[in-house]
Amino acid sequence: MNLYDPQSYHYRGQGERIPLEVRQKYIYVRAPITASGRSPINGLFIVDSGSATALTLNSPFVAQNKLLPHLIKPPF
pLDDT digits (tens, 9 = 90+) for 14-59: 888 788 999 999 999 999 999 888 899 999 999 998 889 988 999 9
Cα separations in angstroms, 12 against 15, 17, 19, 41, 59: 9, 11, 17, 31, 39
Whole-number pLDDT of residue 74: 59
Torsion angle (degrees, nearest 10) of CA 59, 60, 65, 69: 30
Higher pLDDT: 65 or 71? It is 65
Q: Which is higher by pLDDT, 44 or 2?
A: 44
Spatial distance between the Cα atoms of 55 and 48, rounded to a whole number of angstroms: 9
Beta bridge partners of 33: 41
